[in-house]
Amino acid sequence: MSGFKASLMHTGVNVGGQAVLEGVMMRSPSGLAVAVRKANGEVAIKETVWKSFSAKLPWLSLPFIRGSLVLIEALINGLDALMFSANQALDDEDEEEMGFWVMGLTIAAAICLGLLFFVVVPHYLSLLIGRFGPVHYGVASLAFHAIDGIFKLVFFISYIWLISQVKEISRLFEYHGAEHKSIYTYEAGEDLTVENARTHTTLHPRCGTAFILVVLMISILFFSIVFPFISAATGREGGGWTLQLLYVGLKILLMFPIAGLAYELNRYAGRHMDSALLKAVILPGLWVQKMTTREPSDDQIEIALIALKRTLSIETAQSIP
């Protein structure tokens, strides 16, 4: 692969990515590209000029608001990239392409299961321990949300470990590592070559895995502050299962401002990794990335770099008057 002068392209533009089936999606403020290695060795590429909703509604780009928007847009773009990569795999097998609604329903089912196991179940398990365990507490106590957070963390780590045992997921984690190495190369201002990318680590502080861990830590503190007021407003710290379901719904809604806080912290930490305190905050996320990334092959790094180059080309073209 010919060298690509990153120094000509690096203008401080943030670039993020996502591993997909046998490929990588890269996204910049104005461009999105997906590169997928097909079974016959060919590379399928999808390029899109992309604009955030904040381009039309500037207030959405304000700090602590933009984090929720980024999360929603990442889900939308991720769904589109996954559908493209899945259809490339199906095309190799001469099968009917997967439609948007099929993929959409699959992702929706996954989100519902995620909410069940990472929000609903931990909440009710914490409630049961608080009511029938040796130490009694309610939703207004720090103990409740600390135990709730521990359950979420255990479920999350267990989930990642289980899926990492699947061969196809292991391949996905290799492309995840390739994505990180490519972005590190770009951020270092180096030529975007396989040789340069290979030298970088697969662990990145702005990864979605680190983001989830930061969300978890913030949520423990956030819920501990907010729920005493909610409990006082309802007049009941305990309450029946129906009231607890309302609390669960409130937790889901409160994840949007929490995501906003986590996004700002991750964004700041990515620019100030020389701070010992920020390193300590981000470190658990980097530890978990040891499970969600694998050392990629040169072919996989090549795919990630193709997606990155195409995205940067779109970004450059959009910036020219």
The C-alpha atoms of residue 229 and residue 105 are separated, in whole angstroms, by 37
pLDDT per residue as tens digits for the range 142-184: 889 999 999 998 998 999 989 888 888 999 999 999 999 999 9
Nearest to 309 by CA among 200, 192, 184: 192
Residue-averaged pLDDT of the chain: 84
Intra-chain end-to-end CA distance of the chain, in Å: 30
DSSP annotation of 256 reads: H
Q: What percent of the chain stands above pLDDT 90?
A: 30
pLDDT of residue 186: 94
Q: Which stretch of DSSP H or E encloses residue 19? A: strand 16-20
Mean pLDDT is lowest, of 15-24, 110-119, 177-186, for 110-119
pLDDT per residue as tens digits for the range 57-106: 888 888 878 888 888 888 888 888 888 988 887 665 555 555 666 667 77
pLDDT of residue 92: 55
pLDDT of residue 176: 96
pLDDT of residue 108: 81
Would you say residue 2 has pLDDT above 50?
A: no
Which residue matches tokens 């009511």? 131
Res. 1 pLDDT band, cuts 50 70 90: very low
Give domain limits for the chain: 6-113+137-319
Mean pLDDT is lowest, of 67-81, 171-185, 220-234, 261-275, for 261-275
On the CB side of 137, how many CA atoms lie within 13 Å of its CA? 20
Q: Which stretch of DSSP H or E encloses residue 77? A: helix 66-92
Angle, helices 142-164/121-132, rounded to nearest 10 degrees: 130
Nearest to 206 by CA among 148, 125, 265: 265
Contacts of 264 (CB under 8 A, 6+ apart): 63, 64, 67
Give the C-alpha distances (Å, rounded to integers) separating 11 from 8, 180, 188, 310, 319: 8, 19, 12, 16, 11
Give the C-alpha distances (Å, rounded to integers) separating 289 from 58, 75, 259: 33, 20, 19
The C-alpha atoms of residue 296 and residue 288 are separated, in whole angstroms, by 17
Which residue matches tokens 């390739």? 178
Would you say residue 134 has pLDDT above 50?
A: yes
The C-alpha atoms of residue 68 and residue 72 are separated, in whole angstroms, by 6
In order, the DSSP letters of 196-227 are HHHTS-S--TTSHHHHHHHHHHHHHHHHHHHH
Query: Residue 161, exposed/middle/buried by CB under 10 A (0-12, 13-18, 19+)?
Result: exposed
Considering 9-18, 75-84, 192-201, the range whose residues carry the highest mean pLDDT is: 192-201
